[in-house]
Structure 1
Amino acid sequence: MPLSCLKRIPRKLLRVRSLTDLRSRAVMDLKVLVSSLNDFASLSLAESWDNVGLLVEPSPPHVVNTLFLTNDLTEEVMEEALQKRADLILSYHPPIFKPLKRITWQTWKERLVIRALENRVSIYSPHTAYDAAPHGVNTWLAKGLGACTTVPLHSSAASNHPTKGCYRIEFSSCSAEAVLSRLRETPGISLVTTVPVRVDGEEQTRVSLNCSQHALLQVMTLLSQDSCLYEKTEIISLQKPPLGDTGMGRLCTLKEPVAVSALIERVKSHLRLPHVRLALGVGKTLESEVQAIALCAGSGMSVLQGTEADLYLTGEMSHHDVLDAVAKGVTVILCEHSNSERGFLLELQQLLATHLENKVRIIVSERDRDPLRVA
């Protein structure tokens, strides 16, 4: 075979390989990807104190080929993300929580921001939005318990409910039109309805309106000009309807009760842990059976508190909270904070691959780990 033919073969193979690589390197614009992440789990589900969403954004345009998942974004994990050419880091815990007053090389969190921007890497955090989501962290944690039914301990409210007002005000008046003419001039009033009614043999109009919290005082000031009208006015606080499968924590009822010892083994297997911490409830043993389990990933006592259950499962609790639970006969299993969350990342990788239609490469950190060890 002529030497010229041999030289052409690598070029052809290289061309085919390059075309294949180009097809496999699907990318998404950062804004489009962030919008898709928000659709996957609405940030409105997050707690009001949390700091969720896009936290670090390089100058646009910015495209994402590799999405990197981690539970905690430490400097070691950041180095891994850069080595793996991540364009977007999804850090379950927000690396920026308290406001930063300066961006210098002095603290590790400031250095994270500097390195992200210098390397054009964006950072997104879902945190408690993933806690509350029906396909989120707490649902995943419950899967390790065995066959059970689960409901949120604290249901989330519908974020897209059409009600605009915070309060509903209802009253009846024979001069409703005069009252309404004044109320319509008040900002923050909506959904005004009027229905003719008979009150004490007198033809009147029943008025129902919604108003914002800010407008409530102004509305009541106007109505108080007629003492009879004011005394008959009803104020109803409006609440958004709860979402049945969405919210913080989970109450899991096993189909068949199991011994504490068996449940411990299930939890360790699910979380891939060699050990957990255990506090037996007063009067309980390792052979005591449990059926109702209240769980919350992370530091869950604020969610678990007051819940009637045989056992609490969470990452960490204070010493005195453990004592209180034990005194009530509730057994406690602690797994360390991030150990109760990190395993969800492997499931999240698959969920996001489907949700994003495999348009980006999704990888899970290999260096992310709980900082606590048994020495």
Structure 2
Amino acid sequence: MSASSTPTSSPFTRAVVSSMRKLYPESLADKSFDNTGLLLEAPFNHSRRQKNSVLLAIDLTKAVADEAIARRDSIVVAYHPIIFRGLKSLTFNDPQQRSLLRLAQEGISVYSPHTAVDATPGGMGDWLCDIVTGATTPSTPNAAPEIKKSSSQHYSIPTYPQPGPVSSTSSIIPHTRNTIHPSPDPLPEGMENAGMGRTVTFNDPQPLTTVIDNIARGVGYPGGIPIAIPQSTFSIEDMKIRTVGVCPGSGSSILMKGGSQIPDLLFTGEMSHHETLFAIENGSVVIALAHSNTERGYLRAVMKDKLEGVLKGEWEALRGEGVGGSVEDAGLKGVYEDREYAVHVSETDRDPFGIMVRRT
């Protein structure tokens, strides 16, 4: 097979992957269980090429795949790896594998950064710290989700958080923050505070209700706040919080197995029944919003802008090599001459769990 006929992904896809690796080095991911990187490298066909666009999502579901195919994106950056364990087959019988096969057929690749985003300074862990300290608020605050009618006499249809764009605010609660499990050396340049999980320590204890309000705003106003409190507590209004442990997704392995004292508040996506009991029996509060509700808002609040910034340089550099190089194929040369690119955040991506509200 000649070099010219060797399958390869699209030039724009390669620029996206390079940008993601610069922003969230794969070496920071927890390789003891995780599967990060380019999980699906779809072959490039310039005769029916995709747009120079990337779709950001937390989970690669059928709805997200449909969205990418309809817009003709070049690549989906799905935070959670859709290929997590070894595959013995790849068939249409499995609905998740079916999405991968459809994307490959359309020339759309899939990249997963997962725990590299958790560990990177300025990643999801620090974004959750920003939320609890009031450092970011929605630039156009979303109203609480509308409680829509359903065929049920007593319950609404499920509602889901609606995270929107955010902006900095000047009313940040004074605090310090620390990494719970620092990443081992050697660290990539500029990643000195990398690691899993963060602890926020307020200069002065804060009302629990203030922290709850910050969380609700930051993640897009969920229909309710699942919270576990010590049974000795008589009034949430009187509770004060000095330390907050944060971890996106399923955080108990990070927040409760560090050998140190459990923070006053554990803020994560999910924790098991027994782990939660252990926490509240030790006097701590647990807020668990459903796994990906502690992750999804990061895409629009932080990742989109970061990727757009780095991708500009990566795409220009790659284009320069192609336009100034020895590309003879007219179709491929047209690809390199296209300056335009776009980063989209999925409109269909959502956590599997919604909230059904009982009507009074």
In the superposition, the TM-score normalised over structure 2's length comes to 0.71
- Whole-Å separation in 2 of the counterparts to 1:61 and 1:158: 41
Does structure 2 conserve the Cα–Cα contact (< 8 Å) formed by 1:157 and 1:243? Answer: no
* RMSD (CA atoms): 2.2
What is the match of residue 228 of structure 2?
279
Displacement after TM superposition at 1:243 (Å): 5.9
1:99, distance to aligned residue in structure 2 (A) = 1.6
The answer for the alignment partner of 1:354 in structure 2 is 309
Query: C-alpha displacement at 1:136, in angstroms?
Result: 0.7
Task: Indicate which of 94, 97, 103 corresponds to 2:90.
Answer: 103
Tell me the amino acid that sits aligned with residue 206 of structure 2. V
Do the aligned partners of residues 316 and 277 (structure 1) sit closer, same or farther apart at CA in structure 2, a change above 3 Å counting?
A: same
When you count strand as a share of all residues, which structure comes out higher?
Answer: 1
Shift of 1:244: 4.3
Which residue, 294, 297, 304 being the options, matches 2:248? 297
2:37 and 2:184 mapped to 1: Cα distance?
19
SS in 2 for 1:153: strand
Structure 1 unmatched runs, 5+: 1-26, 162-241
| Residue 108 of structure 1, CA deviation | 1.1
**8 Å Cα contact 2:223-2:355 kept in structure 1:** no
Deviation of 1:101 (Å): 1.2
Structure 1 SS opposite 2:183: strand
Cross-structure match for 2:146: none
Give the equivalent residue in structure 2 for 1:322. Answer: 276
The range that moved more, 260-269 or 350-359, is 350-359
Q: Determine helix, strand or coil for the equivalent of 1:298.
A: coil
TM normalised by structure 1 equals 0.68
Aligned residues: 270
Q: CA deviation at 1:59?
A: 2.3
Residue type of the alignment partner of 2:292: S
Q: Which of structures 1 and 2 has the bigger CA Rg?
A: 1
Q: 1:294, CA displacement in angstroms? A: 0.6
Give the 5 Å matches for 1:184-333. Answer: 244-272=192-220, 273-284=222-233, 285-286=235-236, 287-305=238-256, 306-308=259-261, 309-333=263-287
Aligned amino acid, residue 249 of structure 2: G
1:266 to partner: Cα distance: 1.1
Task: Please give the residue correspondences for 1:116-135 in structure 2 after superposition, counting only pairs within 5 Å.
Answer: 116-135=103-122
Structure 2 unpaired stretches of 5+ = 1-9, 134-172, 316-340
In structure 1, what is the Cα distance between the partners aligned to 2:291 and 2:342? 28
CA gap 1:125/1:64 in 2 versus in 1, 3 angstroms: farther
Identity among equivalent positions (%) equals 35
Q: Is the 8 A contact 2:12 2:52 kept in 1?
A: no
Q: Which amino acid aligns with 1:268?
A: A
* Alignment check: 8 A CA contact 1:133 1:247 kept: yes
Q: Distance in 1 between matches of 2:296 and 2:129?
A: 14
- Cα deviation for residue 340 of structure 1 reads 0.4
Aligned to 2:131: 144
1:369 corresponds to 2:350: yes
In 2, the alpha carbon distance for the partners of 1:55 and 1:374 equals 32
Distance of 2:17 and 2:67 partners within structure 1: 22
C-alpha distance in 1 between matches for 2:20 and 2:51: 13
Q: CA deviation at 1:100?
A: 1.7
**Cα pair 1:30 1:64 within 8 Å, conserved:** no
Go from structure 1 to structure 2 and tell me whether the alpha carbon gap of 1:243 and 1:67 turns closer, same or farther (over 3 Å shift): closer
Residues 5-16 of structure 1 aligned to structure 2 (within 5 Å): none
Within a 5 Å distance, the mapping from 1:21-170 to structure 2 comes to 28-48=11-31, 49-60=33-44, 65-146=52-133, 147=173, 148-159=175-186
Letter of the aligned partner of 1:371 in structure 2?
P
Residues 123-178 of structure 1: CA distance to partner in whole angstroms, max 9, x if unpaired?
000000000000111111111112322111100123358xxxxxxxxxxxxxxxxx
Most deviating of 31-40 and 258-267: 31-40
Q: Which amino acid in 1 is paired with 2:275?
A: D
